Amino acid sequence: MRSGNSPERASRSAWCMIGAMRDLHSHFPPKSTRTHEVCGPSASAFAFALGARLGGTVLWVREAWLGDQINPMGFASYMDPQNVLVALAPGHIDVLAAAEEALRSGSVTLVVLDLTQPIGLTEGRRLQLAAQQGKSTGLCLIPEGMGSNAAQTRWRCTPVFDADPHAPDSTLQRWEIIKNKSGTLKAWTVKWDAQTRRINVVSEVAQ
Amino acid sequence: MRKRVVSMWFPRLPSDRVLRACAIGAAGDSRPFVLTHHEKNTDRIYCLNRAAEARGLHRGMGVSDARAYCPDLQSRPATPQADARFLQMLARWSKRYCPWVGLDGTDGLMLNIAGAEHLFNGEAVMLDDMRHRLERAGLSVQIAAAETRGAAWALTHYGTPARTSEGLTSLPVAALRLDAKSDTALQRLGLRTIGDLMALPRATIARRFGPDVTLRLDQALGARDEVISPLTDPPHYGVRMTLPEPIGLSGDVMAATARLLERLCAKLKDQDMGARRLQLSLRRVDQGTQQIELRLAAPMRDAARILPLFERGVGAVDAGFGIDHLRLEATQVERLLQTQITHATSSRSDGLEDLITRLGNRIGLENIQRFLPADSHIPERSFQIAPAAYSTAQGPWVTLRPRPLRLFAPEAITATGPRPPQHFRWRRMALTTQRSTGPERIAPEWWLPDDNWRSGLRDYWKLDTAQGRRLWVFYTPQNPGWFVQGEFA
C-alpha cells in the first residue's frame, strides 16, 4: 500500500513545485514601468536577482555618507558588475531627483534607490510617473515599515537558515509580497541558482 | 617680395627658464648653475649659466667632474619638453612685433618683420625693444636682422659688433649652418671665413663638398629662397552671438544656444575633437554675466544631443532685464575620431552617456561610479571604484570564493578564541551560529600600508545563523578580536 503510494506522492510534490514556480514567475519580475519596494535583510539580494532577470544596466542610487557598500565580488554571481553604475547623491532629495531622472530617461532598465527615510505619496507618485514615461523599473530598498502608498508592490525578503548539510553556500530566502495594488499577497521560499542565474522555488514539502 | 628677417637666439634658454622660476634667480648670474641630463651612461651638463661658464665648465661635461671644479655648483635635472613649451610661448609673445614667427631649432626664433618696422619707429628701435624686454625677463639673447634667414642666423650665432659691420664675409664658415664634417674639411683647406669660400669657383666647391655647402651659401646670400614656416594658432573652440534686442524666455535662450552649438560643433568636427566641458556665458543688459557649465560624460560634438543637456542650466538662469550676448566655449576638448556605425554599436550607450551627464550636472560627475576588477585578495581592494565618465567597463569578474553582497566597516562582536562564537550579539540582535564555514586566511599586503589592516592576519568565516542572517566575520589571531565585515544574501 505504502510502496504504491510513494511515486504518486512524489509526482504530486513535483506538480506542486511547478505550480509554485509558475506562481512566482507570474509575480517576479514585478510589473515593469512601475516602482516597487522591498524591505528586509535580503533586500539587496532581491534587487540583484531582479537586475539579473531584467538584464541591461542597473543604476544604484544611494546617499554618499552611507557606510554600507555593495560588493561587486559578491554580486558577480547574480549579475555582471560591468552593468552596474553607482550614483552617490549628497542627500535624500538628490537620491530621489537622480532616480527620477534615470527612470524617465529609459537608458537603464532598473533603478535601485537605497532609501534611509520614508518618502511621501507625492514623491512615490512622481517616481511611478517617471517609470511609466521611461518604461523602466524602479525599486526602493526601504527600512522596515517605511513604505509609501504609491508603490505598486512591496516585498519582504528575509534569509532563512538552510538545514541541508550539502549546501554550505546557500542562498535560501523567504520572499513575501506584503502589499500588492493589483493582486493577492503571496509568499515563497526561494533559492538563487548561480549557474543558471535564476531564482528557484524550494518546495515546502522538501523542507 | 621684400624680406627682412630677425633671428633671435637664446643661447641659454633651458637654464634661463629654470632660473627665472627659482628664488635664486636674482642672484643667478653670480652663482654657478647647471642643468643636467643623463647621456652616455653618466649625468652630463645640458645647459649652464654665465657664472658656471666663467668657472671653466662646458656643455657635455660630466657633472661629477664639474662638481670637482666648483664645489658650490647648483644643479637641476633638465626637461627638454618644458623648454620646447617655453619656446612656443616666446614665439607667441613675439607676435607682438610681427605676425610671421617661426621656430628655429630648439633655441631660436625667426621673425619676418618686413612691413612691420615702421610700427616701432624703425628697425633699430624695434630690435632694441626686443633686446630690452627679453633681458628684463631674464633671458640672454642674441638678436640680428638681415635680408635672409641664413644671414640672420649667422649674425646671431657668430656675429660680434666688429664683424657685423663688414657683413657676412668675415664670419667663420661654421656660420653657414654646415654639418661638422664639412666644417672641418673646409677648415683643413684653409677656408676660414665665408669670404674665403665666396672667392672660390662654385663648381669646385660643389664637386669637393657636395651640394650642401653651396646651398647654404646661396641661402645666406639670398640667391636661393628659404621659407620661415609660421606657427599656426591653436584652434579656438568658442563662438558668440550678440543680439539686437535682449531676450528673456528660456525657449529663446535655448534657440540661441542651438545656433551657437551648431557652429561650435562644426568647428569641433573640423578638428576631429569632441567637447568634454562646455561653458555658456550669458551677458545681461545690465552687464551681469551668468555662466552655465556643462560637463559631459563622454566627448561629444552632436549638437542635437548636447542641446537638451543645457535645459536644466538654462532654466535656472535669472534673465533680469534680458540677455543680449551669449558666448559658448568648449573649455575642455578631447580627441574624438570618426567611427564607422555598424549594426553592433548600440544606441543604448548614447542614452546612458547622456544620463550620466544629466546626473553628473546635479550630483557631480565623479559621483557616478562603476566597478573595475582589481588584483588583490583584500576584500576592500579586490575591486576599484572609478568615475563612469572617465573609465570603460572591464571584465571578466572572477570570484574564487563566496563573497558577501554588502561590505561595511568592521563591527566588533564579543567573542574569544579562534573558533567562531556559538552565541553573539550583532546590531542589537542575539544570533546563534548553526553552521560556520572557514577559516579563510587573508594576509595584509605589506607593500601597501593600510591602517585597517594594522591588526595583522585575518581568518574569515562565513556564519549561518539560526535566525537566517548569513554573516562574514573575521578573527585576528595576532591581535585577538572578532569583527563582522559583510553580509551574504
> Looking at CA atoms only, how far is residue B373 from chain A in angstroms?
9
Q: Distance, in angstroms, between B429 CA and closest chain A CA?
A: 13
Res B191: pLDDT = 87
| A171 interfacial to chain B (CB closer than 8 Å) | yes
Share of chain A above pLDDT 90, in %: 60
Q: Which residues does chain A have within 8 Å of residue B309's beta carbon, measured at their own beta carbons?
A: none
Cell numbers for A30, please give them: 514585478
Nearest chain B Cα to A165, which residue?
A: B435
According to DSSP, residue B347 is labeled: S
- The chain-wide mean pLDDT, for chain B, equals 88
A100: number of Cβ within 10 Å: 23
Report whether pLDDT(B27) > 80.
no
Q: What is the pLDDT of residues B352-384, one digit of tens each?
A: 888 998 898 889 889 999 999 998 889 888 999
Chain A partners of B369 at a C-beta cutoff of 8 Å? 85-88
3-state helix, strand, coil in chain B (%, to 5): 35, 30, 35
Residue A1 has pLDDT above 50, yes or no: no
The answer to whether the Cβ–Cβ distance between A73 and B434 falls below 8 Å is no
Distance in angstroms (rounded) separating the CA atoms of residues B416 and B480: 8
Nearest CA in chain A to B405: A74
Q: What percent of chain B has pLDDT over 90?
A: 47
Do the Cβ atoms of A81 and B383 come within 8 Å?
yes
Write the CB contacts of B277 (distance below 8 Å, at least 6 apart in sequence). B293, B294, B295, B296, B330, B331, B332
pTM: 0.68
Contacts of B212 (CB under 8 A, 6+ apart): B178, B179, B182
At A10, the pLDDT band (50, 70, 90 cuts) reads: low
Query: Looking at residues B67-94, what average pLDDT do you find?
Result: 92
Taking CB atoms and an 8 Å limit, are A82 and B437 in contact across chains?
A: no
Say whether A64 and B469 touch across the interface (CB within 8 A).
no
Residues of A in contact with B363 (CB under 8 A): 87-90, 94, 98
Contacts of B186 (CB under 8 A, 6+ apart): B173, B178, B197, B209, B213
Q: Which residue among A59, A83, A98 places its CB closest to the CB of B362?
A: A98
Q: Do A68 and B388 touch (CB under 8 A)?
A: no
Spatial CB neighbours of A176, under 8 Å, sequence gap ≥ 6? A155, A156, A157, A185, A186, A187, A188
Q: Is B170 left (phi over 0), alpha (psi -120 to 50) or beta?
A: alpha
B317/chain A closest Cα distance in angstroms: 19
What gap in Å lies between CA B438 and CA B419, rounded to an integer?
Answer: 10
Cross-chain residue pair A108–B405, CB shorter than 8 Å = no
Q: Are B432 and B471 in contact (CB under 8 A)?
A: no
CB contact under 8 A, B399 and A76: yes
**Which chain A positions have a beta carbon within 8 Å of B356's beta carbon?**
85
A145 min Cα distance to partner chain B (Å):
18
- For position B268, what pLDDT does the model report? 93
Residues in Cβ contact with B422 at an 8 Å cutoff, skipping those fewer than 6 apart:
B432, B433
Does residue B2 register a pLDDT over 90?
no
The 3-state secondary structure of chain A reads: CHHHHHHHHHHHHHHHHHHHHHHHHHHCCCCCCCEEEEECCCHHHHHHHHHHHHCCCEEEEEECCCCCEECHHHHCCCCCHHHEEEEEECCHHHHHHHHHHHHHHCCCCEEEEECCCCCCHHHHHHHHHHHHHHCCEEEEECCCCCCCCCCCEEEEEEECCCCCCCCCCCCCEEEEEEEECCCCCCEEEEEEECCCCEEEECCCCCC
- Asked if the model's pLDDT at residue B20 lies above 60, the reply is yes
- How far is the alpha carbon of A16 from chain B, nearest alpha carbon, in Å? 25
In B, which residues are within 8 Å of A158 by CB distance? Answer: 468
- B280 CB-side CA count, 13 A: 27
- Identity of the residue numbered B394: Q
Query: Which residues does chain A have within 8 Å of residue B368's beta carbon, measured at their own beta carbons?
Result: 85-88
The nearest CA of chain A is from the CA of B337 a distance in Å of 24
**Contact criterion met (CB < 8 Å) for B407 and A71:** yes
pLDDT at B26 over 70: no
> What is the secondary structure of B85-127 as a DSSP string?
HHHHHHHHHHTTT-S-EEEETTTEEEEE-TTTGGGGTSHHHHH
Identity of the amino acid at B400? L
B344 Cβ contact list (under 8 Å, min separation 6): none
> A194 at the B interface (CB within 8 A)?
no
Identify all chain A residues contacting B484, using CB atoms and an 8 Å cutoff: none
Phi-psi region of B214 (alpha: psi -120 to 50; beta: other; left: phi over 0): alpha
pLDDT at A203 over 80: no
Q: Look up the ipTM and state it.
A: 0.88
**Percent of chain A at pLDDT above 70?**
90
pLDDT value of residue B264: 95
Q: What is the pLDDT at residue B208?
A: 86
pLDDT tens digits, one per residue of A41-94: 999 999 999 999 998 899 999 999 988 889 999 999 999 999 999 999 999 999
Which is it for strands A198-201 and B5-9: parallel, antiparallel or unpaired?
unpaired
Inter-chain contact B407–A68, Cβ cutoff 8 Å? yes
